[in-house]
Amino acid sequence: PGGGIDSNGKWKNSKKKFFLPVKVVSKLFKGKFLSYTKKNFEQRKIKDKEQFQEIINSCYSKDWVVYTKKPMKSAKHVVKYLGRYTHRIAISNARLKKYEDNKVTFSYKDYSDHNQIKEMTLDDTE
């Protein structure tokens, strides 16, 4: 409602930019998203139910941050915005250094260490 009743029983308006606190939206989104994911479990054709439940439990135990911003002006703006993210490659071929023993090594720029180029090795499933 953009406000509430104070300790004196009087209505107090919230700040003008208020809609929903990010923490509240984040918890609601996490709950709804994981609830629907569990409901649709059978449709997803996941064979290992124990592994699926471990993933769900792991997701519930983490804090989620939902970023909200003002609505875009038109569908054209939405497509342009999403296009910047959906057509990117997570790790380009030029950054892949080697793959052996089910591990992938790739280069990355460490912004916290004066933009030095470093290498990281992860399990291929990560």
Q: What is the tens place of the pLDDT at every residue in 12-47?
A: 877 766 667 778 888 888 999 999 888 877 666 677
In a domain, 38, yes or no: yes
The SS3 of residue 55 is: helix
pLDDT at 105 exceeding the cut of 80: yes
pLDDT at 1 exceeding the cut of 60: no
The C-alpha atoms of residue 51 and residue 35 are separated, in whole angstroms, by 17
For 48, half-sphere exposure in the C-beta direction (CA atoms, 13 angstrom radius) is: 6
Which position has the higher pLDDT, 73 or 115?
Answer: 115
Domain with 64 in it: 1-70
In a domain, 98, yes or no: no
In a domain, 11, yes or no: yes
In a domain, 45, yes or no: yes
Q: CA-CA distances (angstroms) from residue 115 to 42, 66, 101, 110, 120?
A: 45, 28, 29, 5, 15
Number of domains in the chain: 1
8 A C-beta contact, residue 37 and residue 56: yes
Strand-pair category, 11-13 with 116-123? unpaired
In a domain, 37, yes or no: yes
Rounded mean pLDDT, 102-113: 93
pTM of the full structure: 0.41
pLDDT of residue 121: 95
In a domain, 94, yes or no: no
In a domain, 65, yes or no: yes
In a domain, 82, yes or no: no
pLDDT at 122 exceeding the cut of 80: yes
